Amino acid sequence: MNDIAFSVRGASKTFGGVQALEDVSIDVRRREVIGLIGENGAGKSTLLKILSGIHQPDFGTVLLHGEPVKFRSVAHAMRMGVAMVFQEQSLLPNISVAENIYLGNEGTAVKHGFYRWPLLRRRAAEKLDAIGSQVSPRTRTEQLSFAKRQMVEVAKALATGESSHHEPVILLDEPTSVLEAAEIKRLFDVIRELKKRASVVFVSHRMEEVLTICDRAYVMRDGRCVAECDPASVDVNELYRLMVGRDLTDGYFAEDQQIPHTGEVRLQVSQLTGPGFADISFDLHAGEVLAVVGVQDSGRETLARALVGAASVTSGSVTLDGRVVRFRSPADAVRAGFGYIPGERKTDGALMGLTVEENLTLAHPEQVMRGPVLSRSLEQQKVADWVDKLKIKTPSGSTPLGSLSGGNQQKVVLAKWLVDPGLKVLILDTPTRGLDVGAKADVYALVRQLARAGIAVLLLADSLEEGIAMSHRIVTMRDGRISAEFECAPGARPERTAVLERMV
Amino acid sequence: MRRLPPTVIARSRRRAAVLSAAVVLTLTVAGCAGNGSGFTDAASGKGGTCDPKQVHLVQSGRGFENPYYVAVDAGARAFAKSVGLQNNYTWIASEGDSSKQLTQIQSLLAKYGRCTVLNVDPNDNSILPAIVTAVQRQNAWLVTQWNKPDGMTPATSSAHWVAHMSVDGVPQGYNTAKALFQAMGGKGNIVALEGILDNVPAQQRFAGLQKALKEFPQVHLLEAQTANWDQTQAQNVTQTFLTKYGDKINGVWSANDAMGLGAIEALKAAGKVGVVKVSSVDGLQQTIDDVKANNVGYVATTRSTGSVQGGFGLAIGYAAAIGKIDPAKEPAEHRAFYLTYQGIVTSQNAGSLPSPTDASGLNFNNIWSVVASPIGN
Amino acid sequence: MAPDLLSQEHEVGNAAGASEDRSRGGLWARVSRIERVPIPALAALALIVIVFGLANSTFLTLANMQALADQSAIPVVLAVGMTFVILMGSIDLSVEGVVAATSMVSALLVINDRTHHHLGLWAVLISVAVGAGIGAVAGLSVTRLRIPSFLVTIGTWQIGIGIAQVLFGGQPPVVRDRELLSWALKTWLGMPRLAFVALAVVLLGLWVQHMTRFGRYAYVIGGGEDIARLSGIKVARFRTLAFIVAGACSGLAGVMATSRSGQGAVANGNGYLFLTIAGVVIGGTLLTGGRGGVLHSVVGVLIMVSITNGMILVGISPYVQQSVQGAIVVLAVTATLWRLRERLRVVK
């Protein structure tokens, strides 16, 4: 077994009395892609932090090429050849790609404090070539799309890993959570390239992905490693049961909850054009879920922002219930009965420092006001109602939003719009991004419920599967324009590849 | 409206603002509150009963980085010596910090009690009410310089605020302008450098210039700009004037010496030094040297008022402390007044005049000899 | 966060959205890639020059260019030093104090009417060293004692003023050293020599910014101090160095101020703090750090100086000049920061 590159034996870790990790052992062989799958809170991020040197295990040992090691820091682990690609990207936006790849690790490319730019750029280009990326080392990093930055991130991990004598071990922390379908495909190509010169640990909560790319997978639940499985012989339902510890009741996407919409046109968008999108026309009916899918930069996010007045429109019109509307700001849109959940939940959609109550009533304070005054008791009552209805797991209404789990945060953000009885149109920009499987299922059920109540939902789906399974109709966007439209009914859903074809 | 000693400038203002805006605000509020009780005392005030040898003399100003205060200190020392109290004299520097000035004054009052005579140049007129209250609480004696809030006078506030004195800028601006015009041969064009525009001395000095311009119809004011009493700004403004008007400029009238020195530097760089004449106000030693040397075209400045303000400020307060005068019975013009005009410095008299820090010529026998005219409210 | 918004906007502007690929490289892609050139600030400067040039024919004359060069020289040197501090997300408020102190030091060490030293060029080096020393005090306090630079540099500002006052002693030393005075009074190629000193500092600053570890790490630390630490970069050391560089620049500016005013004076630093910080910000160097650079700051200072100069030339009444200057500054900042604007972006 001397082809084991990296392993953990009997690792345990407690944080303030909470057992985050209990007696976990895993092995990573040379040139192998290992999957690490589990819900949020299952312990996979704690394990990853131990593997990458952020934390030390309370018990147990880390072995690198058969030798016990103690990583003092991320930098130390990197020097030893174990490099982590962070979920929250660790690239600096304001410096060049080449600088980022070799940050703090410039070696001979900086001599006596002076940069040797040609050398630095050449080395960075080599690393980018190795993973098949076309990005220029001179580019300022912020000019890259998220997906391209992730490629740079991988190149950086490769570059840091190369400082040791052995082939590097590269840890990928939920790398696909914010990628579009086409980009995930690219990433998988990169992982296959990486596999020729490194070991890879791939962390995800998406079952399909682990089944696609990994040679072996460890399933984690409640701080333990509950199973080791072979992707070739395990199926999605089996994996779900292992991860969640229970069977699905309604089915993952609650598909039997979908009912046909009434046919009444609620929102009519006609030839809408603005910076980033052009000539967009579609109807959205009451009670309908319309999914918009597209790759990064397809223009769908900008379109969504434009619909609620947060991005500019140069021509075209939007009609709501037969009346032409023109929003100058999101506030206008909210008054007209629009709800909007932005993609960057952490920065745009919610105030992490405020309490659950405050976030809930943020967009529609009039719902908890008596006359001109905010009513504390009315607020608490309303909030308790919603917390109950949405099964939001929070100690109390006055808990800061930031301390809830991602799924519960998202439910609060959704509820923020639901408190408005006048809600007509809800625009959801990737509402399940970053949530774990259980929370996703809750959000899907909630979206179904909203549609049944007659609200028109525009869903910017996080994945193709989600878009296909959740919607009545799908439109695909490419280069800022609508490229196709598919009818979608339970049992008669379009093929993945057919939709994907129109996206790229 | 603020009245600042003209040579004491922007830096102190800003520094004070940064460091102690909040403190000053608090103190001002406290001071105003205390001011109400001051009125009751005003009527009952009587001259002091201090032993002439037990009086303690305190002079407060910004700091010796400014030569004006070196002259103030010299005058104050000269008075202290004239009454044999040179060992009972204290100079305190506020460094442009209002809260610091008030703290210093309060601790000295606590230390020396009712026989303290203070001659204070308030850093900012907003702290004056607090100073008056502090002095009155100890029944000590206060004379103030330059700054006082509008509507607040010694006569209506407290007998322990003996007098307020300031310098009238009109004759200063007028006489230095006349000297400048005469040096230009009674005709030609000038540019003017003004002080901070809402400063009373700046306005008075500029009014003096305008008065002189009326008497010299052949002298034209091309343009007036503020350089905020600052040498560097004055250098830049003069430089810009020189590119704008070129050879048309025959003279530069400056509202203070620091700006005049800035103008001289700009003229040096442009190769026009000596050709373009310069005048200013204040009587800094450096300016007097230039006027005396008569080689850079610096034709006039005023005589420094520093030693007079220092010496006579203490003399008036001392007279009240020992009971020689009863402030409550003094006429209004003795309670708030402008100093007598001290004259200008030109190349003719520059050699014979004492330096600004030479206070040996001051005669304290008649303390009211320096009163020129009353200051309205 | 700004980076995402920037990249979004950028890619919208580039129809292809792929300028970062090595296979492509149009002119716009190249220009936008080089953040080293402060395009918006240059545009604002060009606009100001055109407006004043049209309003008054004197503005564009050689004589006025000399005046502008002379007036810009000192704040430009200060801005170069300040840039590195601000790039790292700190601030240096001590410039006026350090200029005051080093102005006095340099005046007393060259031939003058108060002391008998005549150290010549050594006086310049000593003044720069004094400035660097005050900067080191600030830098070490920020990095070792963990006091915010905003507070520390108010302290070192006072230290500088204090040193200057002690040296002042009631009467400003008037400089008699012809060599030092000639910096301000004589010209090369029609431009005042002080302007060449400033030019040399700018070129050196650009080189440091682009070619040295210190310069590049200024961006790294300002862009994300946590990431810098994670990458094993000794943040404290580089931040301290930035304050030393800023102090050294202030020290040189102090010598220049002595040369220009012909004397050592506490007031020699007056007015430079606002001018420098306003210039740096208008140029597009963000106070939050990580953005901008030496050239940005220099252009910003030129904008500020041109406004002051232009308003006098055009003959705007001194009573409204402050308001006009304020309005122009707001406009210039808006123009400069326009591309960072996004409707949902929170402005604090």
* β-strand partners of B179: none
Residue C175 burial (10 A CB sphere; 0-12, 13-18, 19+): buried
Of all residues in chain C, what percent carry a pLDDT higher than 70?
86
Spatial CA neighbour of B121 closest among B142, B151, B141: B142
- The answer to whether the CB atoms of A114 and C212 lie below 8 A apart is yes
Residue A104 φ/ψ region, left for φ over 0, alpha for ψ in the -120 to 50 degree band, beta for the rest: left
C-chain residues near B240 (CB < 8 A) = 64, 67, 309, 312-313
Q: How far is residue A228's CA from residue A246's CA, in Å, rounded to a whole number?
A: 18
**pLDDT tens digits along A413-465:** 777 777 777 888 999 988 887 676 677 777 888 888 888 888 899 999 887 77
Q: The tokens of A379 are what?
A: 């607020």
For chain B, first and last CA: distance in Å? 13
CA A200 to chain centre: 20
| Between C243 and C166, the higher pLDDT residue | C243
C-alpha distances (whole Å) from B31 to each of A412, B36, B143, B354 are 53, 9, 17, 40
Contact (Cβ atoms closer than 8 angstroms) between residue B5 and residue B122: no
Residue C1's closest chain A neighbor by CA?
A347
* β-strand partners of A318: A269, A325
Q: How confident is the model at residue C221 (pLDDT cuts 50, 70, 90)?
A: very high
CATH code of domain A4-244? 3.40.50.300
**pTM > 0.80: yes or no:** no
Mutation site, A84, A91, A92, A341, interface C, largest C CB count within 10 A: A92
Q: The tokens of C245 are what?
A: 């560089």
C-alpha distances (whole Å) from A421 to each of A284, A368, A454, B375 are 19, 12, 12, 71
CB atoms within 10 A of CB B352: 7
Average pLDDT, chain C: 84
- For residue A482, the SS3 value is strand
- The answer to whether the CB atoms of A143 and C20 lie below 8 A apart is yes
Q: How far is residue B353's CA from residue B301's CA, in Å, rounded to a whole number?
A: 12
Nearest Cα of chain C lies from the Cα of B206 at a distance, in angstroms, of 13
DSSP B272-295: -BTTBEEE-SS--HHHHHHHHHT-
Number of H helices, E strands in chain B: 12, 13
Q: What is the ipTM of this complex?
A: 0.81
Residue B9's closest chain C neighbor by CA?
C267
- For residue A225, the SS3 value is strand
pLDDT (0 to 100) of residue B43 = 37
What class, spelled out in words, does domain A255-337+424-503 have in CATH? alpha beta
pLDDT (0 to 100) of residue C72 = 94
Residue B207 makes CB contacts below 8 A (sequence gap 6+) with B169, B170, B173
Phi, psi (degrees; rounded to nearest 5) at A464:
-60, -45
C-chain residues near A135 (CB < 8 A) = 20-22
**What one-letter code names the amino acid at A303?**
L
- Which sequence spans correspond to the domains of chain C? 41-340
Q: How far is residue A383's CA from residue A416's CA, in Å, rounded to a whole number?
A: 10
Contact (Cβ atoms closer than 8 angstroms) between residue B231 and residue B284: no
Looking at the complex, does the CB of residue C26 fall below 8 Å from at least one CB of chain A? no
CATH code of domain C41-340? 1.10.3470
Q: How far is residue C7's CA from residue A89's CA, in Å, rounded to a whole number?
A: 15
Residue C305's closest chain B neighbor by CA?
B236
Q: How far is residue B156's CA from residue B377's CA, in Å, rounded to a whole number?
A: 9
Q: How far is residue B279's CA from residue C138's CA, in Å, rounded to a whole number?
A: 42
Contact (Cβ atoms closer than 8 angstroms) between residue C127 and residue C164: no
**pLDDT tens digits along B31-87:** 443 343 333 343 344 667 899 999 999 999 988 878 889 899 999 999 999 999 999
**pLDDT tens digits along C130-188:** 999 999 999 999 999 989 999 999 999 999 999 998 888 777 899 998 888 888 888 88
- For residue A104, the SS3 value is coil
Q: Show which of residues 288-307 on chain C sit within 8 Å of chain A, judged by CB atoms.
A: 290-291
C-chain residues near B193 (CB < 8 A) = none
B neighbour chains, 3+ CB pairs within 8 Å: C
Contact (Cβ atoms closer than 8 angstroms) between residue A307 and residue A346: no
Residue B285's closest chain C neighbor by CA?
C171
Return per-residue pLDDT of chain B as tens, 377 residues.
333 444 444 444 444 444 444 444 444 444 443 343 333 343 344 667 899 999 999 999 988 878 889 899 999 999 999 999 999 999 999 888 888 899 999 999 999 999 999 999 998 888 899 999 999 999 999 999 988 888 888 998 889 999 999 999 999 999 999 999 999 999 999 999 999 888 888 999 999 999 999 999 999 999 999 998 999 999 999 999 999 999 999 999 999 999 999 999 999 999 999 999 999 999 998 899 999 998 999 999 999 999 999 999 999 999 999 999 999 999 989 999 999 999 999 999 988 888 888 888 889 999 999 999 998 76
Q: How far is residue B344's CA from residue B354's CA, in Å, rounded to a whole number?
A: 13
Q: How far is residue A335's CA from residue A363's CA, in Å, rounded to a whole number?
A: 9
Nearest Cα of chain C lies from the Cα of A99 at a distance, in angstroms, of 9
Task: Go through the domains of chain B in sequence order and give each one's CATH number.
Answer: 10-167+306-341 (3.40.50.2300), 169-302 (3.40.50.2300)
C-chain residues near B241 (CB < 8 A) = 312
Residue A483 burial (10 A CB sphere; 0-12, 13-18, 19+): middle
**pLDDT tens digits along A166-212:** 788 989 888 876 677 777 888 888 888 888 888 999 988 777 788 88
| Touch of C by A (3+ CB pairs closer than 8 Å) | yes
Spatial CA neighbour of B13 closest among B196, B140, B141: B196
Q: How far is residue B367's CA from residue B49's CA, in Å, rounded to a whole number?
A: 19
**pLDDT tens digits along A60-106:** 899 988 889 888 888 788 888 888 887 666 888 889 999 999 988 88
Q: Which residue among B226, B258, B265 sits closest to C267, beta carbon to beta carbon?
A: B258
In this structure, what DSSP letter does residue B113 have? G
Report which listed range, A283-292, A373-382, B13-22, is most confident.
A283-292
Q: Which residue among C12, C223, C230 sits closest to A93, beta carbon to beta carbon?
A: C223
pLDDT (0 to 100) of residue C8 = 33
Spatial CA neighbour of B212 closest among B237, B235, B184: B184
- The answer to whether the CB atoms of C1 and A145 lie below 8 A apart is no
Average pLDDT, chain A: 83
How many CA within 13 A on the CB side of residue C276?
A: 31
Q: The tokens of A222 are what?
A: 């409640």
pLDDT (0 to 100) of residue A346 = 55
- The answer to whether the CB atoms of A92 and C8 lie below 8 A apart is no
Looking at the complex, does the CB of residue B226 fall below 8 Å from at least one CB of chain C? yes
pLDDT (0 to 100) of residue C39 = 81
Mutation site, C112, C157, C312, interface B, largest B CB count within 10 A: C312
pLDDT (0 to 100) of residue B247 = 93
Q: The tokens of C78 are what?
A: 């200060």
Q: How far is residue A413's CA from residue B217's CA, in Å, rounded to a whole number?
A: 78
A-chain residues near C22 (CB < 8 A) = 125, 134-136
pLDDT at A406 over 80: no
A-chain residues near C32 (CB < 8 A) = 143
Q: How far is residue A35's CA from residue A12's CA, in Å, rounded to a whole number?
A: 20
Mutation site, B4, B11, B77, interface C, largest C CB count within 10 A: B11
Residues A93-124 as b or e (16 or more Cβ within 10 Å = b): bbbbbbbbbbbbbbeebbeeeebebebbbebb
pLDDT (0 to 100) of residue C340 = 58
pLDDT (0 to 100) of residue B35 = 40
Q: The tokens of A144 are what?
A: 């890259």
Q: How confident is the model at residue A34 (pLDDT cuts 50, 70, 90)?
A: very high
Q: The tokens of C342 are what?
A: 């996004």
What's the mean pLDDT in C291-309?
92
Contact (Cβ atoms closer than 8 angstroms) between residue A309 and residue A330: yes
- For residue A12, the SS3 value is strand
Q: Which residue among B66, B233, B286 sits closest to C271, beta carbon to beta carbon?
A: B233
CB atoms within 10 A of CB C253: 35
pLDDT at A249 over 80: no
* β-strand partners of A340: A427
Phi, psi (degrees; rounded to nearest 5) at A383:
-65, -45
| Between C201 and B146, the higher pLDDT residue | C201
DSSP A349-372: I--TTSBHHHHHTSS-GGGGEETT
C-alpha distances (whole Å) from A128 to each of A116, A146, A151, B77, C4 are 19, 16, 8, 80, 22
pLDDT (0 to 100) of residue B302 = 95
Residue C137 makes CB contacts below 8 A (sequence gap 6+) with C156, C159
Spatial CA neighbour of A60 closest among A187, A175, A225: A225
- The answer to whether the CB atoms of B232 and C268 lie below 8 A apart is yes
pLDDT at C230 over 90: no
Q: Helix, strand, coil: what percent of chain B each, to 5?
A: 50, 20, 30
Residue A246 burial (10 A CB sphere; 0-12, 13-18, 19+): exposed
Q: How far is residue B45's CA from residue B27's CA, in Å, rounded to a whole number?
A: 25
C-alpha distances (whole Å) from C106 to each of C251, C268, C273 are 9, 12, 20
Residue B236's closest chain C neighbor by CA?
C71
Spatial CA neighbour of A286 closest among A337, A342, A340: A337
Nearest Cα of chain B lies from the Cα of C30 at a distance, in angstroms, of 39
Q: Which residue among A94, A138, A344 sits closest to C223, beta carbon to beta carbon?
A: A94
Residue A381 makes CB contacts below 8 A (sequence gap 6+) with none
Residue C24's closest chain A neighbor by CA?
A136
Strand pairing of B56-61 and B89-93?
parallel
Q: How far is residue B269's CA from residue B291's CA, in Å, rounded to a whole number?
A: 19
B-chain residues near C157 (CB < 8 A) = 15
Strand pairing of A373-374 and A369-370?
antiparallel
Contact (Cβ atoms closer than 8 angstroms) between residue B251 and residue B222: no
- Which has the minimum average pLDDT: A233-247, A277-291, B333-347? A233-247
How many CA within 13 A on the CB side of residue A412?
A: 34
Q: How far is residue C129's CA from residue C244's CA, in Å, rounded to a whole number?
A: 9
DSSP A21-35: EEEEEEEEETT-EEE
**What one-letter code names the amino acid at C50?**
I
**pLDDT tens digits along C55-96:** 988 899 888 999 999 999 999 999 999 999 999 999 999 999
Number of H helices, E strands in chain A: 16, 24
